[in-house]
Amino acid sequence: MKKLTFLFLPLVFLITSCSGSKSVSMNNDNTSKTPFVWEGANVYFLLTDRFYNGDTSNDLNFNRTKTPGKLRGFEGGDIIGITKKIESGYFDKLGINVIWLTPIVEQIHDGVDEGTGLSYGFHGYWARDWTALDPNFGTKEDLANLVKKAHEKGIRIMLDGVINHTGPVTPEDPVWPSDWVRTGVVCDYKSFENTTMCTLVDNLPDVRTESVQEVELPPFLIEKWKKEGRYEKEIASLDEFFKRTNYPRTPKYYIIKWLTDYITEFGVDGYRGDTVKHTEESVWADFKKECDYAFENWKKHHPLQVLDQNPFYTIAEVYGYGISGGQDYDFGDRKVNYFQNGFNSMINFEFKWNAAQNNYEGLFSKYSNALNNELKGYSVLNYISSHDDGQPFDANRVKGIEAGTKLLLSPGISQVYYGDESNRSLVVEGTQGDATLRSNMNWDDIQNNQETQKTLLHWQKLGQFRRNHPAIGAGIHSQISGEPYVFSRTFTKDTFTDQVIIGLDLPQGKKEIQVNSIFQNGTKLRDTYSNQEVEVIDGKISIDSDFNFVLLEKI
């Protein structure tokens, strides 16, 4: 990762208390006239088990009754809970247009201790059966309803796909056959081979994604399907897939088939690829090919449910990739371009450092230059905290306003990790390892804590502005003035043009902003932050508000 020069600009954020504001429930929605652009999306990433418990009847399954380490068991969150929050308008108010769920396939039934206390597969990354949903998360009917309700509000659904590994081996969860997985050789990450043909940790069997040897289904899976009364259906579906594609029956193609079935059946809009650098890049090129086929097939059979003509979207988790690396990830002995192997975007592990080390202009111009030059046609997913990054931008949650401003106004795709908007604690006493990053969503604070409500309101205002204006994430950045700090973003695609002007660190009270580089005299503008309308006179606008922020859009 490129070392960046340290710059600091004092950030003064003065926001009126929620008790004095009438706009907590503001929902400035211009989405009806704004095309959805993946490169400017506002993505909400949540752990299904930790977000909201919508159905307590599914909280215990498979006799998962052992006492886990703190925050290492199933806590009750489920698909129904997410759907309820979609219906309540929570995501609308936050300006979210994509929801990314952690994997929801059936997990190992038992728990394991990796040195941080007994853990169950609450996070979803320990698959036992890719063809079934884990009942702790919900049913396929629940998933169908979630996609339906999300699409009705213009929200896309992104699932999380694991091809690299199965779940750990336990007395209740047998190891997959040796022609399916390898065990015992732990990655040392010193080369491409020692990153891909190895296990991430002990007791996490690595799928032989490089194998060209055809394999039979694991006996335990056959027995399971027969017991559940769906063996013939699953076999017929596999036969149809392999006949259509002419792929050999190797481990990777079974899993690709199982994952893309969720597109065919439910019409999900995207996949985040897990542990991408731990498999050969060709795996993901094949995966994307089948995702595209499944998505087009779903749209053909559900013409009235098609949101738009955007293609299926894929985002890669290549741990350690940063925007400064351009299109390549460097393994040391070779470089790989994942953008040319199945991915539209990559998670940007560098953003939190860039946000800490740069002022606004340094951050925004760096990202605009990269995305409109070397990465043109692609994007990156920026985040300030995540489920497995132990060094978040704001570990103690004392910079919620700054975090939201930098994340939501930066070029690229924004990832709001559940609770970023509400200062959900990332430091939980009694936890070990990454469990501290995965606490339950702090709904009580949102309901009762005024400081939380102030932070949330800021994220709502910026999130809605981002959702309504693709120029924020996908446009070209241009500084208008340094003091006061004002800039524009411009986005053009086909016949659609989007232009906005934003001011940050402005004085409270009366302020004048030059806007003639974008808006002509006589143009009516709205400042969505204060919800005031103004007119351009002599190339500028004058506004009187209690805020340090101005978000200007044409009315």
Tell me what the mean pLDDT of segment 105-116 comes to: 97
Question: Do 293 and 321 meet the contact criterion of CB atoms below 8 Å apart?
Answer: no
What is the percent of the chain with per-residue pLDDT over 90, rounded to a whole number?
94
Place of tokens 């759907």: 83
Q: Which of 174, 85, 75, 91 is nearest to 129 (CA)?
A: 174
The first and second tokens of residue 361, run together, are 């202009």
Structure tokens at 51: 């977000």
Residues 6+ apart with CB under 8 A from 446: 422, 452, 453, 456
pTM of model > 0.85: yes
pLDDT of 433 > 50? The answer is: yes
List Cβ<8 Å contacts ≥24 apart for 86-92: 86/146, 86/149, 86/150, 86/153, 86/155, 87/149, 89/27, 91/44, 91/153, 91/155, 92/27, 92/29, 92/153
Mean pLDDT for the stretch of residues 134-153: 99
Judge contact between 359 and 8, C-beta under 8 A: yes
What pLDDT digit, counting tens, does each position of 359-372 carry? Answer: 999 999 999 999 99
> Is the confidence at residue 119, as pLDDT, over 50?
yes
Cα dihedral sign, 452-445-396-411 = negative
Q: How confident is the model at residue 184 (pLDDT cuts 50, 70, 90)?
A: confident
pLDDT reported for residue 33: 76
Closest CA to 155 of 227, 96, 237: 96
Give the CA radius of gyration of the chain: 24
Band the pLDDT of 1: cuts 50, 70, 90: very low
Res 32: pLDDT: 57
Q: Minimal CA–CA distance to 46: which of 398, 383, 488, 532?
A: 383
How many whole angstroms from its chain centre is CA 425?
19
Q: In order of start, what are the domains of the chain with their CATH numbers?
A: 46-162+272-471 (3.20.20.80), 479-554 (2.60.40.1180)
Q: Give the HSE-up count for residue 456: Cα atoms under 13 Å, Cβ half-sphere.
A: 28
Encoded amino acid at 28, one letter = N
CB 299 within 8 Å of CB 268: no
Helix spans in 338-386 (H): 351-357, 360-371
Q: How far is CA 366 from the centre of its chain?
A: 22
Q: Could you give the CA distance from residue 95 to residue 115 in angstroms, rounded to a whole number?
A: 39
Q: Residue 416 is encoded by which pair of tokens?
A: 């709001």
Write out pLDDT tens, residues 46-67. 999 999 999 999 999 999 999 9
